[in-house]
Every structure is written in C-alpha cells, then in structure tokens.
Amino acid sequence: MIKITDFNTICDELKTVAGAKGYVLSATEENLVNKLKDRAGLQLACIIPMLSTSGDLSGFIDETTTMFWAIEKHVDGQTDKSELQQYQRTQDAIMKVRTHIISMAEDGCSDFNNLDLNSMIIEPVWVSKGSWNGWSLELTF
C-alpha cells in the first residue's frame, strides 16, 4: 500500500498537472465538503486510498484503489452554457491527471507502476452537499 505521505506528494504534483488552484486530501465526501467550503476555482480532490487483498495465504495480491476529482464550485443561477463550460474545464483537468498517471506507470518508477488500465473510470460528478461540479477518476494500482 502507498504511504499516505507519498500519496500526498503525488496529489500536490497532480494539482499542478491539472492546473488546479489547490488540492484536498480526504477520506470521505463529508470531510471533503468541509475542507472545500472556503475554496474557489478548480480544485483537485484526492480520496485517501484503500487497500484490498485477494488470494490466500499461499499467494495473495494487494491492490490499492483511489479516486481523484477535478471540481469547481457550482454557481447558483448559472446558465446551461456556463455549466457546460465548467464541465469542460474540469474534464480537461481530469484528462491531464489521467495522462500523467499513465506516464508515471509507464516510467516504472512510481507508486503507480502496477496500474490496472482496465480499472480507470472517469465519470461526471456533482457533490450535492457542497455544490461542486466536475469529473472523477477512479483507479486501482
């Protein structure tokens, strides 16, 4: 499993890659909303990884799963066009994060070197409690 301090360093690097104004590290959506409450602009939310193990005592595999969100605060009363532009900006950001993670895995000298490309899922998100729009990237490594 990746050390949480190493994951935090990666999140800081990915914030720059995404062009985000900041990033937050969180274990839950509720905690995420609290950490984002006073922020503005594009933010990268990094969900603390979880570990799962498969196999048996004679042989097992550990897999780490995490999620990244490229999100911006929803503006009350914004037009459909403005919301679409917001989703485009955040989609561009999450695609940059995805490309960078794949590059890190290909280089073979990162914590992502066991990246399962088939595990990568990108989907639109709306964080209802805090009114944030954007995209999430889930992956296993």
- pLDDT tens, 59-77? 888 888 899 999 999 888 8
Select from 72, 73, 82, 69 the least CA-distant residue to 122. Answer: 69
- pLDDT tens, 12-70? 999 999 999 999 999 987 788 889 888 999 999 999 998 888 888 888 888 888 999 99
pTM (2 d.p.): 0.86
Q: For the chain, what are the domain ranges? A: 4-52+64-132
Mapping DSSP to helix (H, G, I), strand (E, B) and coil, where does residue 5 land?
Answer: helix
